[in-house]
Chain A
Amino acid sequence: MDNRPVLLEIDNLQTHFRTMDGVNRAVDGVSFSVRSGETLAVVGESGCGKSVTAMSILRLIPEPPGKIAGSIRFGGRDLLKLSDREMRQIRGNEISMIFQEPMTSLNPVLTVGRQIGETLRLHQGMSAAKAEERAVEMLRLVGIPEPGRRVREYPHQLSGGMRQRVMIAIALACNPKLLIADEPTTALDVTIQAQILDLMRDLKTSVGAAIVLITHDLGVVAEVAERVVVMYAGKKVEEAPVGELFRRPKHPYTQGLLGSVPRLGSSLTGETSRLAEIPGLVPSLKQKIPGCVFASRCPKATDFCVAVAPGLELKAPAHVAACHYAEKEAA
């Protein structure tokens, strides 16, 4: 059993948005926890609420129109009850975040050094000179050549991969306890993706931060995650250690997700079958669904599924899924 202390505990998180035509329940009752130093992946299709979950942790959701309810306990404090000022001291310091779009996530009119130094000056009270010194150090740490020169450059002078390295440098500058990475490799070339993942893994061991990795890329999950939370339509539908999830997915949605990963060379071995897909679309989050949220697309769905929502049940050791028909295994 994992005996690392729990760092982040999200309980019944609900992030709703008021819109012109009703309330959008982007995240609807999601709970999970992250232990110190652990890497947790949150996976799901576009629009399943995984990014909103990530943004909710740092309270980066504009309120209104957003509304965050539930509790997010971090180091003994409920982040949702903190003042704006207290929240600012956590952002970029104890919890930091990197985003999907390295091309647009850096400020185009400030030097790279200034942007890395900003967190250090904010949270550690460093002088401008000291912060720049440390920024050079951080650039070296994330593998940017000639850091002394790069530190004075602007984002447009860097490639996409380099910019994501800079984002990582910003995120790790204050040695955070938790790093939230929202699709950190999606916008990058495949070769660069591997480099960035390696970098994140290396830095995680040296800095000792826990990582919440938001992604739709199951290859990335298999590569770096220890535990996986699968989200669908604003709800958690399955959670398991990574090996267990890949070997014995319980929820039909997870099974579908794993089945739709293209396999390299499948056309060479004579398998000409179509790529498996999950039929249908994610349901609208604006109406409440009484039964299982996946019922409309599920091959195993029955009338019972449409009528009654399944709760999350322990199906195997450390493995929960929300499905009436997922078989249980002896613990």
Chain B
Amino acid sequence: MKKLAVKDLNKFFDAISADQLLYMPLEKGGSVNYGIYSRGDKYDPTVLHTVKSVKDVFFPQCESMASFVTAGKKFEVAPIAPVDQSFTVFGVRACDVRGMEALDKVFLSDPVDSYYAARRAHGTVISVACSAPEETCFCTAFGIDPTNPGADIQAVIAGEDILFSANTEKGIALLDKVADLLSDTDDSAADDAKASIKEILNKLPLADIDLSAWGEGKTEELFDRPEWDELCKSCLGCGTCTYVCPTCQCYDIRDYKVGDKTTRYRCWDSCMYSDFTMAAHGTNRPDKKQRFRQRFMHKLVYFPDRYGMFSCVGCGRCVAKCPVSMNIVKVIKAMGGKNNG
């Protein structure tokens, strides 16, 4: 285990960002999102969640894939190559690390998404244990341990120090690069910090949420439940929950054309939108109830059916951000479960 004083974090960031991009939670205009570190930027360890999750780094909200130029009868295609430079992401929380696992299942299984795969291959992720979970957190319900976030390197803040341990070869290589900033230490300080975080975890109101009504093979049981009619009523049909979600992975591909030049790009899409998966015959989810149901069934039933894991990670972003507070926790509880009274 390696040790660094929290006040020296900027030296650590400067050393890493000397020859590669470093993404981390940065404040801009009053909101914290992942951004590219430049000298002097401050990391605020008290911010638990970025608004957009780390998904935005590996699967950006918008990315160009190719451009086309037409000149008379000539037609030229210029594909835009995936990332080929190494980069580091700092400050990822345990829920977002699990969120990336869910994204991996989708994008790294056949057919592999080359843009995502390239970013995963070139990115080194440094996670940071949550020192002050909030009441909206329920990651523990999905078996996530926010004190052991995983990823290439995991860090925990213990008093004045931040303690790093590398989990993968990429992680070891990165810590070696900045070895002269770090000093060796044993695990005791980290263990103490983790123990005190665990005490808070037990107090979280949503920690014991019961997921037994959900999971693999529950489609028929849940699909036509009458509760959907009431639940969907307050939903505005905006895309906030899907865009702040660390695992929502749907996207749309569009062309932007000016004169003889076209840029083909992909951007996040939301199953809450009326034109989601619009086909020639129209849409197959014409009303709000169907769209609303789709999102939760996908996270809690279809995804487990297909990949054997929930694609909700309990980060609580949608719980905090939904304009009308109609969130996944209410939906989970509405469908029953012993502890969900």
Q: Do A and B bind each other?
A: no
